[in-house]
Chains A and B, each alone.
Chain A
Amino acid sequence: MSFLRRRKGTDSSKSQNLRCNIVKEDEKNNLYESPRKESYNSKKWSCWDSCCWFIGFVCSVWWFLLLLYNTMPASIPQYVTEAITGPLTDPPGVKLRKEGLTVNHPVVFVPGIVTGGLELWEGHQCAEGLFRKRLWGGSFGELYKRPLCWAQHMSLDNETGLDPPGIRVRPVSGLVAADYFAAGYFVWAVLIANLAQIGYEEKTMYMAAYDWRLSFQNTEVRDQTLSRIKSNIELMVATNGGKKVVVIPHSMGVLYFLHFMKWVEAPPPMGGGGGSEWCAKHIKAVMNIGGPFLGVPKSVSGLFSVEARDIAIARTFAPGFLDKDVFGLQTFQHLMRMTRTWDSTMSMIPKGGDTIWGGLDWSPEGSSFNCGAKTLRNNSINNTGQIPNINLANMKDVNYGRIISFGKDVAEAHSSKIERVDLLDSMKADMLANLTNCDIWIEYHDIGDHRIKAVADYKVYTAGSILDLLHFVSPKLMARGGAHFSYGIADNLDDPKYQHYKYWSNPLETKLPDAPDMEIYSMYGVGIPTERAYVYKVTTATDCSIPFQIDTSAEGGSEDSCLKGGVFSADGDETVPVLSAGLMAAKGWRGKTRFNPSGIPTYIREYSHAPPANLLEGRGTQSGAHVDIMGNFALIEDVIRVAAGATGKELGGDHRRCSPDGIPTVGGSKPQPHWHYDRLGAVAK
């Protein structure tokens, strides 16, 4: 230290020497031309001074405002909001506490994909100092600071789907794991706060955090997560006087919990050995929020070309920016490489094939959903209580069944007019990959131009053939995923092969547990256009980029067409189509079916989307969007009532987007017949 100090001293004295030479000269100048220079100086500061002044000014103002903000009583924002929008309704927790509701059943949260935090336990040199810091969730600060290092640590091993050597990234545990996804962006926090109002606390709430990158069974293999959930549920039941738990899974957590219910009753070593009574003994209700029971089309575009509507739109606005390698970033390729190591993304590939998602010329949605947001409101005035297909003239029948089509004309033509070259033939044709020397490895570089052309030549892919497509373009990924997930429909559920864990998260290939007193809720938002099918094109870009892109130039003919920017939309919560979220509860499990042998009662609770009225409302209290619905007051109220002991009947049974007497619910959506349930009735059995 003393050495340093001395060093400093000499340095400064040296620089003083230097400086003073300059000063000397300055002074000389000053002496000679002092009148002019002085006046110059006094009129105008040097640039440096101005900079300092400016920074100082900004800082001071900022601090001052900060001080004011901090000293402001906490009630002011609320006061302002009330002044603008009228008196606020009580949050459901407060309201229900006044009604006398208190803690009853313990609550288990199961977070979905990407909402759970991940932290670093062991890493490479480049991640020094990040021990037990969040890599995923929180501020994502590391993503900006060292993007490559971050991507490397977030990836899993390409072969095993587990940790790469030398890296251990683990889920954050406890309620903090998923209460906020990023700073200020709530996921579970609102629900937790409301539950706390009626007396819930740490001992009666449990966040079943898991590593959402892994395949479900691997969370048990690596982290024993399923065992931990089992043990925690047993503990909560035991310490709360034998009260069964209410499970609240969200998004992919729904599938994870389906897997758990099968796992816990299956005998070891594959299962948890809880015995066939376990679910009946420990679970009161499963309240699925926005559950992609049958998968989401979004995951297909995600796997196929790492894009969804948002990215495609960004690409049209700033063409070239994302594609160019000016910065040497190759963002997409990195992202793709990273997400492709995550097995869990494959759990959400559409399940049930053409039977559920529609064939070339048929889809369960048909043409009944009106996609234009504007007309949606108009219609609600015009055709209240009538059959909505009045303006069918400007609504072409959408071929939702074709999840991926190459070219807009292909997407809209009748199936007989499409010429397709068989994929399997071309698969045999050319197995030689042309070796590219790209830095970044993605499987596309292994498959060669012929195959890319073959993919495009096949032109149209339905939910069934999507699987072939993915097997074709990324065989390794699908081979890995195929060991953990299955996407079919069971012919005979008693076939012993269905005891394998890869079927457990597919509701069409499993039986629900034998627990007639349990209840299953499907709660999801409706009224938001949701990605359902895509129009693709082959890019002509360089060797090292992804050869397929969503064709954002493909637009529907009229304003209220379902095709926008290369994406066909259907009704849903912005991520999960209604079909996937509601079918099982509406039909597949309704009553005693082969998927639900003990007749577990199911309830559908739909929440109409109403965007926040103004900025002060934040993300809204009536939102139906996939994540924002976690702050929906109606949903929270339902959850609290069930947690406090109510049954589905007491809640009012099914609650669809229009109330029984045909009057539209708040939010301005139009009444519709429940097409999907009726149409699928024929299909599902």
Chain B
Amino acid sequence: MASNFLRLRKPYYVESTINCSSSSDQKLVNLSFGINETRNQTKKRQAKEHHGRRSCLDSCCWVTGYLCTTWWLLLFLYHCCLPFTAVHEVPELMPAARLKREGLTGIHPVVLVPGIVTGGLELWEGKPCADGLFRKRLWGGGGFTQLLKRPLCWLEHLSLHNETGLDPPGIRVRPIPGLFGADYSAPGYFVWDVLVKNLAKIGYEGKNLHMAAYDWRLSFQNTEVRDRTLSRLKSKIELMYQANGNKKVVVVPHAMGVAYFLHFLKWVETPPPMGGGGGPGWCAEHIKAIVNIGPSFLGVPKAVSNILSAEGKDVAYFRAMAPGVLDSGTLGLRALEHVMRVSRTWDSVVSLMPKGGETIWGNMDWSPEDEHVCDFSKKRYFRLSPSDNNVNNSNEKQVFRVKDPVKYGRIISFGKAASVLHSSQLPTAVLKEILHMSASRNFNSSCGEAWTEYDEMSRESIRKIGAADKAYTATTLFDLLRFVAPKMMNRAEAHFSHGIADNLDDPKYNHYKYWSNPLEMKLPDAPNMEIYCSYGVGIPTERSYVYKLSPNNKCKRIPYQIDTSVDGEDDSCLKSGVYFTDGDESVPVLSAGFMCAKGWKGRTWFNPSGINTYVREYQSKPPTSGIKSTTHVDIMGNIALIEDILRVAAGATGEEIGGNKIYSDILRMSERINLRL
């Protein structure tokens, strides 16, 4: 370390002497010596004389050269010091190093299933504007530089066809296969890389580690129709199973990959042509465990705000900070409108809509999170042993409960009043009225070319929806969306369903649109399989929104936006128009944990063969540094999670790694949900 310091000192010393000795016309450092004055005078004189002889260009060159040299010097020194720092960091980053010393080696092949937006996409065929981008990344990695270079072209190529949800004519954008696909979503922003590194430490490599990359823009069944992705995954799993001495695979899906893999489980056992024809025993034979990371089993409220107005918490904050930048069309940017136009062609977004309706997400006056306390700084979790299930500390929690429960059930409310008033005080049936009215949709398209679907709605109905003090629950929400985005919902609802099954034996549930909804499918008959729900808790997560009419209600504008002026009191759950609840910043605990905690627990309707489920929560500690972070994506670098995955991959069962590990209220939330099991 000492030598390290010495080395660090050098540049400063060198630089400052340089500063001093160089008699340039740069500003001199003020010196606290009497000599100052004389020096300055000399300097001035010098500067005057120099001014005539040294042109501005010379000075510019000088400055550039100076900066470059310094930069290189620092870069060089940085690289010299790198080995020291690297050695220092590695052991902490690598739980695998410790586990390897314990004698752990990889036994079961591992399949990674990436989530939405984390997979890379590359261009295979494009319009002339995308010349020279053949097999270059459009999404992920360096692909985003294209966003800056030719934004419109980029957006055009990432859109799908508005009617079919498949490729637009003349454009082919395909997922990048293999581990390159999703190890980093942008340079330096790891997704899977840390996990892959750790797996490699205990012996994994290409033959027993597979990244099931898929085009995350498509609906799940369409990935098979267009790219044969599901067939490829099936063949890959079978191959890895055989090539590794008939060891079953451990699947690690993340975020939307969870729903994708649920879809796969059903697909693979269904007979062709709709399914993969693996036969009823396929999952039992090939899969040891599914370790779902940050699972969005029941959807995320974020998806609603995304579809409605292409914004989430972040965008709303940004708007509040710099009002006008996003909205001013002066620059011709209209970023949000473009984003909305593109993302509405992506069917997969619809798969993330809240599933289960009011039964799960709560109605106008009730929600399963009623007892939630929002002040996250005061909140304390108590580590519970799995035996005393959360009962002991319920009393302690009550202390923090101060006010009326937040009406989380109203996922979208127009105006703050609509989000807090009792349901009896709210007007009813507004939507139906509007729907009725616009049955004769004779809008005059004064906006010229239709930009988003909002342009096809009459101004009046837009205003009516927005003006009414109206709130929408997870069920009525769909009416709203069907109204504002009819094409998209039409297209996507052929691929996804968001209800709860009354009778799972109904033959209609053999259709693929039900396969990714855990409330409308049965798990496969594989009693030895294990399902883990691993997710972060303790971070405020978007749960419902307060909306308002956009002030800028012109053509080609999104007419609604989150009302960032609405704030609750200090420890309220309402901040800038968004109600928060417990979760991992993207997925609320309810969505991530409910199926493992209750829906599939034991032998239920949805889990007829009694597959074991485990809830593994990872608590966020206040200084969320990289290795302890539990936010939705950063959790992939969480050492506790990585350790769990490594142990499972090395053959441990759920009981052996400690069974359930619960910090949040998920069990009591689940109890409140009245679902036939």
A-B contacts besides A12-B16, A19-B17, A49-B24, 13 pairs, CB < 8 Å: A7-B5, A11-B9, A11-B13, A15-B16, A24-B35, A31-B38, A51-B65, A52-B65, A54-B61, A56-B62, A56-B64, A121-B200, A203-B228
7 residue pairs from A and B, CB less than 8 Å apart: A15-B16, A19-B17, A27-B42, A131-B200, A196-B124, A224-B243, A227-B243
| Contact among B58, B206, B235 with A173 in the assembled complex (CB-CB below 8 Å) | B206
Residue of B nearest to A240 (CB): B228
- Asked if A201 lies at the interface with its beta carbon under 8 angstroms from chain B, I say yes
Task: Write out, one digit per residue, whether chain A residues 28-41 have a CB within 8 A of any chain B CB (1) or not (0).
Answer: 00110010001001
Chain B residues, CB < 8 A from A176: 178, 180
Report A189 CB to chain B, min CB distance, Å.
8
Chain B residues, CB < 8 A from A122: 200-201
CB-contacts of B1-41 with A (<8 A): 5, 8-9, 12-13, 16-24, 29, 31, 33, 35, 38-39
- Asked if B49 lies at the interface with its beta carbon under 8 angstroms from chain A, I say yes
State the main secondary structure of chain B at its contact with A. Answer: helix
Please determine whether B23 and A41 come into contact, CB atoms closer than 8 angstroms: yes
Please determine whether A201 and B31 come into contact, CB atoms closer than 8 angstroms: no
- B binding-site residues for A, Cβ under 8 Å: 5, 8-9, 12-13, 16-24, 29, 31, 33, 35, 38-39, 42, 45-46, 49-50, 53, 58, 60-66, 68-69, 83, 86-87, 90, 124-125, 131-132, 134-135, 172, 174-175, 177-180, 183, 196-197, 200-201, 205-207, 227-228, 231-232, 235-236, 238-239, 242-243
The complex places the Cα of A263 from the Cα of B392 at a distance, in Å, of: 64
Chain B residues, CB < 8 A from A82: none
The complex places the Cα of A59 from the Cα of B24 at a distance, in Å, of: 20
Known: A12-B16, A27-B35, A42-B46. A170 touches B21 (CB 8 A): no
The complex places the Cα of A48 from the Cα of B132 at a distance, in Å, of: 43
| Contact among B13, B38, B206 with A170 in the assembled complex (CB-CB below 8 Å) | B206
- Asked if A132 lies at the interface with its beta carbon under 8 angstroms from chain B, I say yes
Please determine whether A23 and B243 come into contact, CB atoms closer than 8 angstroms: no
Report B468 CB to chain A, min CB distance, Å.
49
Chain B residues, CB < 8 A from A54: 61, 65
Chain A residues, CB < 8 A from B58: 53
Report A229 CB to chain B, min CB distance, Å.
10
The complex places the Cα of A170 from the Cα of B90 at a distance, in Å, of: 22
Chain A residues, CB < 8 A from B69: 51-52, 55
Chain A residues, CB < 8 A from B207: 223-224, 228
Chain B residues, CB < 8 A from A22: 17, 20-21
- Asked if A79 lies at the interface with its beta carbon under 8 angstroms from chain B, I say no
Please determine whether B197 and A196 come into contact, CB atoms closer than 8 angstroms: no
Report A197 CB to chain B, min CB distance, Å.
8
Task: Write out, one digit per residue, whether chain A residues 91-129 have a CB within 8 A of any chain B CB (1) or not (0).
Answer: 000000000000000000000000000000110000011
Task: Write out, one digit per residue, whether chain A residues 545-563 have a CB within 8 A of any chain B CB (1) or not (0).
Answer: 0000000000000000000
- Asked if A235 lies at the interface with its beta carbon under 8 angstroms from chain B, I say yes
| Contact among A31, A60, A192, A228 with B61 in the assembled complex (CB-CB below 8 Å) | A60
| A-B pairs, 7 with minimum CB distance | A56-B65, A56-B64, A56-B61, A52-B65, A55-B65, A224-B243, A231-B239
Residue of A nearest to B34 (CB): A24
Chain A residues, CB < 8 A from B33: 20, 24
Please determine whether B35 and A20 come into contact, CB atoms closer than 8 angstroms: yes
Chain A residues, CB < 8 A from B232: 203, 235, 239
Size of interface on A: residues with Cβ below 8 Å to B: 66
- Asked if A572 lies at the interface with its beta carbon under 8 angstroms from chain B, I say no
- Asked if A57 lies at the interface with its beta carbon under 8 angstroms from chain B, I say yes
The complex places the Cα of A7 from the Cα of B206 at a distance, in Å, of: 47
Please determine whether A55 and B68 come into contact, CB atoms closer than 8 angstroms: yes
The complex places the Cα of A223 from the Cα of B61 at a distance, in Å, of: 55
- Asked if A673 lies at the interface with its beta carbon under 8 angstroms from chain B, I say no
> Which of A7, A132, A238 has the largest number of chain B CB atoms within 10 A?
A132
The complex places the Cα of A170 from the Cα of B178 at a distance, in Å, of: 14
Chain A residues, CB < 8 A from B235: 231-232, 234-235
Chain A residues, CB < 8 A from B61: 52-54, 56-57, 60
Chain B residues, CB < 8 A from A476: none
- Asked if A46 lies at the interface with its beta carbon under 8 angstroms from chain B, I say yes
Known: A56-B63, A193-B134. A11 touches B53 (CB 8 A): no
Report A491 CB to chain B, min CB distance, Å.
37
Residue of B nearest to A39 (CB): B49
Known: A52-B62, A223-B206, A224-B243. A16 touches B200 (CB 8 A): no
Please determine whether B17 and A27 come into contact, CB atoms closer than 8 angstroms: no
Please determine whether A52 and B66 come into contact, CB atoms closer than 8 angstroms: yes
| Contact among B39, B64, B66, B227 with A23 in the assembled complex (CB-CB below 8 Å) | B39
- Asked if A527 lies at the interface with its beta carbon under 8 angstroms from chain B, I say no
